[in-house]
Structure formats: C-alpha cells, structure tokens
Structure 1
Amino acid sequence: MEHLRLLDGRLKLRHLLLVDALTEQGSVVGAAAAMHITQPVATRSLHDLEDILGVQLYERGPRGITPTEFGIAFTEHARAVLAQLTQAARHVDEIADATRGRVVVGTHLAGSNLLLPRAIARVKHDRPLLNVVVHEATPEALLVELSAGRVDVIVGRLTGQSTEHTRRTTLYEESIRVVTGADHPLAGRTRVTFEDLWEYPWILPGVETILRQELAEFFVRNGHDLPANRVEATSFLTVRQLLIETEMIAVLPGLIGADDPLLTTVPMSLEPIGHSVGITLAADRRMTPTVRALIDALETTASEIYDPMP
C-alpha cells in the first residue's frame, strides 16, 4: 500500500525534527540554525522528505517559507511522534529511578506569580530530586511547544475550550483589575472613574493576547481608542518596576499584586473582563508520574487560592 512508504526505511527522525523546525522558524536558515546543521544539509533533507511523501510541504517565497496544506498536516503528525518519543524516554528514566524525573511546565502571566510557585514548592517538598523546568512564553507559542512535546503542561489563563488535541481543566476564576504603584496619585482613593485613569500612561499586554483584545473592546465601550501614551509588556518584572517607579497604570490578573506592598488595586470594575486559570495538557499523551505529581500539587494549591472580586 502507498502509505507504507513511510515505513520503508527512508524516513528518518531527522526529517521529523526538520519539519518541526521549518514550520516554527519560517525559513530554512532559521531551521538549520535551530538544528545546528548547515543550510545546504537542511535543504537537501527537505527535498528528500518531499520525494518520500510525493508532495510539496512548503511554498518558497522571498521572505521565507510557508507550509502548504500538506506541510501543516505533516507537521502536526511529526510533532505528535516527537512528543511520544520524548515521553517514552522520560517514562523509562522514571521507572528506572522513581525519585527523580523531569517536568517542563509552560506559563504566562496569569498563574505564574502565585499558583505555580506554590505548587512547585509543594511538589519539591515531596520529591526533592524532581527537576522542574519553567518555560515562559505567550499562550500561542506554548501550545506549539505542548504539541511538540517540549512542554508537558501549560499553567495560566485558559484561552478556549478543550479540543481534539488539548485538554483544559479550570482550577479557579480570577478577576482582572487596574493596578498602580502604592505611591500613585490614585492610590487610596475610594472611587475612581475611567476618565481619572485616562490621564495616566498605560501598560498594556501584547497584541497577541486575548486580554489585549478584551481591553480594546473595553476602551471602545467607554468612548476611547487605546491610549496613545502606553507601553506594551507581558513580563511581570518589567511591569512591576514601571508601576513602582512611575505613575503608569496596568491591567493585571487580580492575584498578581494581591500580596505586594509596593502595588495597589484601583477601585474600578473592569467587568465583564475576567478569566479562568487552569492547566492545558495534550489530549492524546499519557501522563508520566512526574507530570501527575505536579498536577496534583497544582490542584491542591488552587483549592487554597481565593480571589475576592472587587
């Protein structure tokens, strides 16, 4: 049968790694650099793979390459195979030594300041030799990492429902609030209007985030475009320092500044903006014992977290 050509010995693991890198990098040069091979080697391997499959996987253009319909489909399968191989190797290691292991958790702003650190501390108390690797990126980038097996679980805002590829579980609900530095002119006020906020520079999340889209709609409802005087940042350390040292204001998940004496919440509702914080897993991937241990710690920690709505 024709589909058995993938099992005739010509398809190599390097072909799967190449497709993953090509789709992620968007260029042969970038993929070659990511794989630590030369561009001619990458180009030759791509030609070999397309000959094996009998289809064109990428459209070549002046600014790089774009996966065709075949390329999109094959990338999905390649990443699934790579993820399974990664999990298989780690599972064998964990069976060999149950006290050790490694879990890679992806995170973004929501959940990264309170939920995840407490859960890591809890699991490390029980498994001190467990290596926990935290990878911070945008939700979209983390989903790619999850599908390729480079991330085991994503912790943060749930940006959608479960799909055939992902399984999402809500851990708690969190409000979105306006936050300033503790010495800001609006700090301590019992009532703040939208017009009061408009006088100050804003810190907004990046354009690729759902929260940014929701804020844009919030401004429109209040008769304004997005503030011209603004900074765009998703790194909490950057946002926090700007709030402390300037009169900027930011919109953040409610628990981020809850225990920070240098930050304060402005008494103004941003309803209906809010979100669910939870975990995202690959739907078709078997959980290793270390991943299960971290998820148990996350669920226990989440049960202890309460976000009082303003």
Structure 2
Amino acid sequence: MTPSGAKHSRLSLARRLRLQQLAIFEKVVEAGSILAASRELAMTQPAVSKSIHELEQQLDGVLFVRGKRGVVLTEFGCLFQRHTKILMGELRYLAEDLNAWQTGTAGHVVVGSLIAASATLLPEAITRLRAAVPDVVVTVRVGPNSVLFPALARGELDVVVGALPAEDAELLRQNHAERAELEHVALYEEALCVVVGSQHALASRRQLCLSELHALEWIVPTQDSAAHASVRSFFKKAGLAMPRRLVESVSILTNLGLVSAGSMVALMPQSAAERFAQAGLLAILPLEGLSPFSSVGYTVRADRGPSAATEHLLEALRGVGRSHAAGVDASACIPALYA
C-alpha cells in the first residue's frame, strides 16, 4: 500500500513501467531529440513519441520540454533520469552476470581512467586481460575525479583507475541517487617528474634548480586533481609562487603534444614520464623535491561484487601494481604496447 496521498509505490511502478520505456527515455536524453533517438533505435518517430507520452502519463509528470532544436529535460525529468541511470546500470550488470554464467569468459568492462593510469597501469593491465580472456570488451572513459566517481556510484562505470583521492564524500554529495560506498585499493605510490621535450635546450642538463625554470611556460595538473596540492608544495618549498604562465591540463596526449613540440615545461606522473622518455619523446629534468603525491590504484563500488569480466581486469591491475611496487617494468613481462 502507498502512504496516504502518495501516487506511487514500488509495486505500482513495477506494474506500470516497462524496461523498454526506460531504454527509449535514456536514448532520447542521450540523442537530444526524438527524431535522432528514433533513428538510433531503428524505430519510427511516432513510436518513440508515444512511448515517452505513455511514460509521462504513468509518472504523472512532464519529462521533456519540446522545442524546434529537440528536447530538454524538465526538473522532473532530471529527477527521473538520475534513477533511470541506476536502473539501467543494474540491468547492464545483470546482463554481464548472465553472460559470465553461461560463457565463463565473455563480458564487458567499462573503465574510468585518470591521468596517472592512462599511460602505463591501465594499458599494461588491459594487455594482460586480453591475454587471459580475449573475448572481454573493454570501454575506457577518461575524466577527472569529479566526473568519474559519481558515474561509478551510478553504475555507469565498473571501475575507476588512477590516483586515489583522499576524500570522495564531497564528489558524491550532489545527488542522493549518486551516493554509494566506494572501495579504494592502493597498488603503488606515484610521484611527479618535471619534463621537457627531447629536443629542448635543457634536456641535456645534468644540474638544474627550479628557479631557472620558473619564468617558462608550465603545464600543471588541474586544481581538482589529486596532484595539485603536491605541485603547490613543490614550488612553495623552493620559495617560489606558482608560475604565472600556466596551462592546467590532465590530458596526457595534450600535455605530450605541447611539450614535445615546443618549449613548455610540464609536471607529469613519473610512470608516464619514464615511458615517454624511453620512447625518446621527452626528457626528465634532474630536479628534486617532488615526493609521491598519491597512491595509484583502483576504485570499485563496495555495495556490489564485480562481474566476472571486471574481476579479471582487477586481477590484471593487481599484477601490474605488484610489478610497479617492486620497481619492475611490467611491460617487459607482457607484449609491449609501445614497441
């Protein structure tokens, strides 16, 4: 029974709502218009419109504002979307578990990657995963903590790999539907290096002090990254303010392109810097004072166990992590990605 005056209950929604309606709603939100969604779903536009109209009637609320350029979620629609993301995420987990039960090896893992993992830890772990279970599909999404951890809590990601945050509560406080207990597993400590392009005038120097570089153009991690506090401390210990000519970026490819093609100086996670230096793309400058800024590892939801496919990836991550912690080049133990 529903409370006095309440229109909805778990059972009443279960009777009225259909999973196909939720999938259509999700696609309309993603596509931004009913016409575009109908094309992607291989349905007619009237059929999609009818499904959304029936959903609005069943919920007794307007989900979209229709316009010439498409549709936009109403406030009511945003509320419904938050819960739909979780429901559809759980449906994906169900499909993964059923596939794993029936095939034992197939599956799909959706990984969120931070900069500290994007050049070494994750590529090496995926290579190990492919050698063990070649039929598993891996989708990698890159972003900052503030985007990836809420997505993990909603079930849109299976695991986040990278620098572990000191505190995740602030990242997850926005919406009740996004609150979930996260489990952080540390694999090894990560430090930062100061790098320049391999052809830079400073690349061959054997002795340097930070003050010589302060006036140059710098690439530093963004203010919401785990490494930012360590960067500020690095300059402060040398009696220097943060450089004035800054690019704030956690895009490993953007940073690599800027440094290798010009005169910029960058702060980069040591594991990534060493990989690019070995490839002849960068030079690591002989500067001291940068202590480890964070533990690197992976984060999963603590309130549900991983799928079989995700567990295979976690085991691969742990194997690579043990090699890094022991000071071994993990890529030497598996087929090289950057040969």
Structure-2 residue corresponding to 1:210 = 225
Q: CA deviation at 1:174?
A: 1.0
Q: Percent identity among equivalent residues? A: 29
Q: Residue 306 and residue 45 in structure 1: after superposition, are their counterparts in 2 closer, same or farther (change >3 A)?
A: same
Q: Give the match for residue 106 of structure 2.
A: 100
Identify the residue that residue 274 of structure 2 maps to in structure 1. Answer: 258
Q: Distance in 1 between matches of 2:81 and 2:160?
A: 21
Alpha carbons of structure 1 residues 210 and 99: separation in structure 2 relative to 1, 3 Å:
closer
SS in 1 for 2:157: coil
- The one-letter code of the counterpart of 2:15 is D
Match for residue 128 of structure 2?
A: 122
CA RMSD of aligned residues (A): 3.9
Look up the equivalent residue of 1:95 and give its one-letter code.
W
Post-superposition offset of 1:142: 3.5
Q: Take 2:252 and 2:139, find their aligned partners in 1: how far apart are those partners?
A: 15
State the SS of the aligned residue for 1:302. Answer: helix
User: Does the Cα contact within 8 Å between 2:105 and 2:136 map onto a contact in 1?
Assistant: no
Among residues 233, 241, 249, which one is paired with 1:223 in the alignment?
241
Kindly tell me: are residues 286 and 237 of structure 1, through their superposed partners in 2, closer, same or farther at Cα, counting changes over 3 Å? same
Q: Is the contact made by 1:32 and 1:38 (CA closer than 8 Å) also made in structure 2?
A: no
Unaligned runs of 5+ in 1: none
Aligned residue runs from structure 1 range 240-259, under 5 A: 240-259=256-275
Query: Out of 9, 16, 19, which is 2:22 matched to?
Result: 16
Matched position secondary structure for 2:273: coil
What whole-Å deviation, never above 9, does each CA across 1:148-195 have from its counterpart, x for those lacking one? 5443222112244376253332222212232212332333242322x4
Deviation of 1:256 after TM superposition, in Å, equals: 0.6
Partner SS, residue 258 of structure 1: helix
Question: Would the alpha carbon gap of residues 124 and 198 (structure 1) be closer, same or farther in structure 2, given more than 3 Å must change?
Answer: same
- What is the letter of the counterpart of residue 201 of structure 2? P
Distance 2:322 2:13 in 1: 47
From 266, 270, 289, the counterpart of 2:308 = 289
1:161 paired with 2:207, answer no
> Matched residues in 2 for 1:303 and 1:39: separation?
53
Q: Counterpart of 1:286 in 2: which secondary structure?
A: coil
What's the CA shift for 1:84? 1.7
Contact 2:38 2:48 in 1 (8 A): no
Distance of 1:24 and 1:185 partners within structure 2: 48
**Which residue of 2 is the match for residue 276 of structure 1?**
295
Which residue identity is paired with 1:285? R
Q: What is the count of residue pairs matched by the alignment?
A: 300
Question: 1:99/1:161 Cα in 2 relative to 1: closer, same or farther (>3 Å)?
Answer: same
Alignment of 1:229-244 (within 5 A): 230-231=246-247, 233-244=249-260
- TM-score, normalised by the number of residues in structure 1: 0.76
- CA 1:200–1:225: 2 relative to 1, 3 Å: closer
Counterpart-to-counterpart distance in 1, 2:77 and 2:228: 30
Q: CA 1:58–1:98 in structure 2 vs 1: closer, same or farther (change >3 Å)?
A: same
Match of 1:136 in 2: 141
State the partner residue of 2:207: 190
Distance in 2, matches of 1:28 and 1:219, equals 49
The 3-state SS of whatever aligns with 1:292 is helix
| In 2, Cα distance between equivalents of 1:241 and 1:252 | 13
Q: Distance in 2 between matches of 1:203 and 1:149?
A: 33
Query: What residue in structure 1 maps to residue 81 of structure 2?
Result: 75
The match for 1:7 among 14, 19, 36 is: 14
Runs of 5+ consecutive residues of structure 2 not aligned to the other structure = 3-7, 170-178, 328-339
Name whichever of 89-98 and 45-54 sits farther off.
45-54
Structure 2 residue identity aligned to 1:106: G
Q: CA deviation at 1:99?
A: 3.5
| SS state at 2:195 partner | strand
- Relative to structure 1, the CA distance from residue 57 to residue 284 in structure 2 (aligned partners, 3 Å threshold; closer, same or farther) is farther
Residues 215, 244 of structure 2: 8 Å contact kept: no
Query: With structure 2 as the length reference, what TM-score do the two structures score?
Result: 0.71
1:36-75 equivalences under 5 Å are 36=41, 45-56=51-62, 65=72, 68=75, 70-75=76-81
Q: Structure 1's 35 and 285: CA in aligned 2 closer, same or farther, altered over 3 A? A: farther
1:241 maps to amino acid: G
SS in 2 for 1:247: coil
1:304 aligned to which of 290, 315, 323: 323
Larger Rg, first or second structure (1 or 2) = 2
In the alignment, the residues of structure 2 paired with residue 29 and residue 203 of structure 1 have an alpha-carbon distance, to the nearest angstrom, of 42
Aligned counterparts of 2:18 and 2:47: Cα–Cα separation in 1: 14
CA offsets 1:127-152 (integer angstroms, 9 cap, x no match) = 3x332414132134444653554432
Whole-Å separation in 2 of the counterparts to 1:156 and 1:31: 35
